[in-house]
């Protein structure tokens, strides 16, 4: 009888050891907070039931200052009603209108958007945050709208900024920047009527046919760290009368160099 009891005890100990071994090899998944929007949205077992007609839409080009508009359809591909639909925009220049704030299964809603392009040029991209509730969970998704913006008559600097890396106080420099007029309409002309620069930079503009060449020279000022200033250029452009060229100076950190704040 004693021998049988010992055998049962040995079996129990072996069984417990096997369970512990399995637990070590296959640990339990970490607890996930189901109320966290990010956790729910990124978890494979909680994939949402929405589908955008376009997640990245590129509109037709518009002139700077005009309003670009369009719409995106959002479909409910699931079996339950999607509620509390809302959209947040990335730029205050954009307005949105929703045809509804809930989506029945198999139905779609329309999101209209209006983007004011005043003061923008080249490609402008706005990001839209789409929030909603499904199965009593708060979810989100994103879509993007790109607007190609025409800029006729705009002065463009090449390079677009002056950058001095590993600069030292008192170091002399001379840099050239080319200015050209972008997509100038036929019959129009643009002239430079004024240049404002920091007192440590001398700017000499020379017109060379369809563009200007600016020779900028001077001595780096007694500053420290990262120092930024701007050169302002005024022109006769009807839509873009002013432009700026940033000057970025990254000074070398040198304990033996005297610098001022």
DSSP strand pairing (162-167 vs 242-251):
parallel
Can 37-150 and 154-251 be said to share one CATH topology?
yes
Which are the contacts of 47, defined by CB distance < 8 A and separation ≥ 6?
A: none
Residues listed for the chain: 261
Question: How does DSSP classify residue 46?
Answer: G
CATH code for residues 37-150: 2.60.40.10
Q: What pLDDT shows up at residue 59?
A: 94
Q: Is the pLDDT of residue 251 over 80?
A: yes
Place of tokens 């979810």: 139
Task: State the average pLDDT for the chain.
Answer: 80
Q: Which of 3.10.20.30, 3.90.79.10, 3.20.20.80, 2.60.40.4140 would CATH assign to domain 154-251?
A: 2.60.40.4140
Q: What pLDDT shows up at residue 47?
A: 56
User: Mean pLDDT: which of 14-18, 25-29, 118-122 is highest?
Assistant: 118-122
Q: What pLDDT shows up at residue 41?
A: 40
Which are the contacts of 115, defined by CB distance < 8 A and separation ≥ 6?
A: 67, 68, 69, 91, 93, 94, 124, 126, 145, 147
Q: Is the pLDDT of residue 34 over 80?
A: no
User: Mean pLDDT: which of 12-26, 153-167, 232-246 is highest?
Assistant: 153-167
Tens-digit pLDDT profile for residues 41-93:
433 344 578 999 999 999 998 888 889 999 999 999 999 999 999 999 999 99
User: Mean pLDDT: which of 6-20, 151-165, 245-259 is highest?
Assistant: 151-165
Domain boundaries defined on the chain: 37-150, 154-251
Q: What token pair was written down for 118? A: 């005043």
Q: Which of 97-101, 108-112, 239-243 has the lowest mean pLDDT?
A: 239-243
């Amino acid at each position: 009888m004693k021998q049988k009891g010992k055998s049962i005890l040995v079996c129990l100990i072996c069984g417990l050891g096997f369970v512990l071994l399995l637990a070590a090899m296959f640990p339990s998944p970490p607890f996930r907070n189901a109320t966290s929007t990010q956790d729910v949205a990124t978890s494979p077992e909680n994939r949402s039931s929405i589908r955008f007609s376009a997640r990245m839409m590129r509109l037709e080009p518009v002139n700077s200052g005009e309003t670009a508009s369009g719409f995106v359809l959002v479909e409910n591909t699931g079996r339950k009603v999607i509620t509390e639909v809302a959209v947040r925009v990335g730029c205050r220049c954009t307005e949105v209108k929703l045809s509804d704030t809930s989506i029945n299964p198999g139905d779609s809603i329309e999101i209209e958007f209006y983007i004011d392009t005043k003061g923008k040029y080249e490609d402008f991209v706005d990001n839209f945050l789409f929030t909603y509730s499904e199965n009593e969970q708060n979810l989100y998704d994103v879509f993007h709208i790109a607007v190609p913006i025409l800029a006729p008559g705009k002065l463009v600097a090449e390079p677009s900024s002056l950058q001095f890396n590993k600069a030292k106080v008192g170091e002399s420099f001379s840099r050239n920047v080319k200015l050209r007029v972008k997509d100038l309409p036929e019959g129009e002309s643009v002239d430079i009527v004024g240049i404002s620069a920091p007192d440590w930079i001398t700017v000499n503009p020379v017109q060379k046919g369809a563009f200007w060449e600016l020779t900028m020279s001077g001595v780096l000022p007694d500053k420290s760290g990262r120092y930024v200033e701007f050169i302002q250029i005024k022109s006769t452009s009807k839509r873009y009368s002013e432009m700026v060229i940033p000057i970025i100076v990254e000074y070398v950190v040198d304990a033996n160099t005297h610098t001022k704040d």
